Chain A
Amino acid sequence: MDKFIEKFTELFDNADIKDLNESTHFKEIDGWCSLIALFLISMADEEYNVSLKRDDILKASTIGDIYHIIQNMT
């Protein structure tokens, strides 16, 4: 989970975005947009070899939710 949070934080490429945790509501993070969603889909493919869909992201609320979706797909 820690490694995932680290990778998730990197998506924003912004030093002000830190201290994220599994209960963070990611859609409320300053800068969250469909481009970051695309980066997330790319990261899930590259790091975890899973095909995350836009629907999966729409249904999830927290970083933990995304993590569990990815875990279930592996």
Chain B
Amino acid sequence: MNLTFKNKEITGILTVLPSKEVRFEDEMENYPFSVETSLKLKTIMGFEKRRIVEDGVCASDLCIFGLSYLFDNKLLNKEDIDALILVTQTPDYIVPPTSNIIQGRFGLKEDMICMDINQGCTGFVLGLMQAFLLLDQESIHKVVLMNADVLSRKVSRKDRNSNPLIGDGASITIVERSEINNMIYANIKMDGKRAFAIHIPAGGARKPSCPETAIVEMDDIGNMRSQDNLVMKGDEVFLFAQKDVPPMIVSLLDFSNQTKDMVDYFMFHQPNKFMLNKLADKLGIPRDKMPSNVVENLGNSSGVSIPISMTYNLGNRLINERLNLCLAGFGAGLNWASMILEVGNLNFNGMIFF
């Protein structure tokens, strides 16, 4: 599905990363890899170091920390916030919405929209879409889009598919109306037939968490996890990214009347280094135009990985320049979403540590 947006822009990005860092070498005993395999995994997949929260830290904690920073540094005024969107797969509670908890913590006004959106790796693109749609309303001038996840708490330490690369984090993106007549193009696809390729079996209404769902069991390739843990059909998800993402990007470029060369950077979701390098090669894009370094340094924090990549890789450049970016997220749903937009002259584009 093609979408267009006009006169909207991102005016600031702040990412919040946990201070706690875990190194692949320290956890290698959890996985039955040989030394040779471990070394290969390090370089090829990007298993190196990642950031995860301490026990008990929630998505709202990271968001509140980030918002406090913005308020204290006069980068954002509480009264100006007309909408607060939180995209997360790890809300603090099933009820009430975590965005309302954050609203209440700061005593934000009542005349505003608070919304939790359950999306994973496509979360930043879909969150931007929602922010742009809200800004079409006369009474909405400034949207605060938060993406936050603490998925490390849902991944089994002995799941060698997911544990070596999972990371936590949050991002706060300010989205406002713009005088510049820029056109933003997006393409979004969703396939519910493959809904269970990325899945947490227990914890919802279908299968509530109980002592039985906490029992750790071995799967058919030696990974250990419980029904409360994230399970990913690695081969299906890998093939999904390889087969479905490139045609979407080609289609999006065509829809926006642009060529690959007109895009400065392809800021894609960061699943692992191998997948991103393959995607760049398939699309015929030089690898340095598609950053793939987030997993090896900070981990894969699902929907937050795109804004993390933007602050980590493009820092001051997005403050001083305007760059034409192609964003793409792909994952839980299975959903895949891409967007081409100019981003630049930001009021802030940085990273702080919780």
Residues in chain A within 8 A of chain B (CB atoms) = 31, 33-35, 37-38, 41-42, 45, 51-54, 58
Mostly, the B contact residues are: helix
In this complex, the member of A34, A35, A45, A52 whose beta carbon has the largest number of chain B beta carbons within 10 angstroms is A34
Residue count of chain B within 8 Å CB distance of chain A: 21
Complex interface: chain A residues within 8 A of B41 (CB): 35
Of the candidates B220, B235, B236, B243, the one having the most CB atoms from chain A within 10 angstroms of its own CB is B235
Chain B residues contacting A54 (CB-CB under 8 Å) are: 221, 233-235
Chain B residue nearest to A33 in the complex (CB): B37
Q: In the complex, which residues of chain A have a beta carbon less than 8 angstroms from the beta carbon of B210?
A: none
Closest to B240 in A: A51
The proximity string for B residues 33-60 relative to A, scoring 1 for CB distances below 8 Å and 0 otherwise, is 1101100110011000000000000000
A53 touches B236 (CB 8 A): yes
Given contacts A42-B242, A45-B242, A45-B243, contact A31 B234 (CB under 8 A): no
Given contacts A31-B36, A41-B235, 7 further A-B contacts (CB under 8 A): A31-B37, A34-B160, A35-B40, A38-B234, A38-B235, A41-B238, A58-B220
Set of chain B residues within 8 Å of A34, measured between Cβ atoms: 160, 221, 234
- The interface residues of chain B lying within 8 Å CB-to-CB of A35 are 37, 40-41, 44-45
Name the residue on A nearest B40 (C-beta): A35
A-B pair number, CB within 8 angstroms: 39
Point out the residues of chain A lying under 8 angstroms from B221, CB to CB.
Answer: 34, 54, 58
- A54 and B220 CA atoms in complex are apart in Å by 10
Please give me the residue from chain B that is nearest to A58 by CB atom: B220
Q: Jot down 7 A-B pairs with beta carbons below 8 A, ordered by A.
A: A38-B235, A41-B235, A45-B243, A51-B239, A53-B235, A54-B233, A58-B221
Nearest-Cβ distance from residue A31 to partner chain B, whole angstroms: 6
In angstroms, how far is the closest chain A Cβ from the Cβ of B290?
Answer: 17
Closest CB pairs A-B (n = 5): A54-B235, A33-B37, A51-B239, A41-B235, A53-B235
With the chains together, A31 CA to B221 CA distance in Å?
Answer: 16
Closest Cβ of chain A to B222, distance in Å, is: 9
Write out the residue numbers on chain A whose beta carbons fall within 8 Å of the beta carbon of B239.
Answer: 41, 45, 51
The answer to whether residues A42 and B236 also contact, given A33-B37, A54-B221 and a CB cut-off of 8 A, is no
Q: Mark B239-263, 1 if CB is under 8 A from A, else 0.
A: 1001100000000000000000000
B207 contacts partner chain A, Cβ-Cβ < 8 Å: no
* Chain B, residue nearest A40 (CB): B235
Tell which of A31, A37, A42, A52 touches B278, judged by Cβ atoms closer than 8 Å. A42
Q: Cβ of B220: which chain A residues have Cβ within 8 Å of it?
A: 58
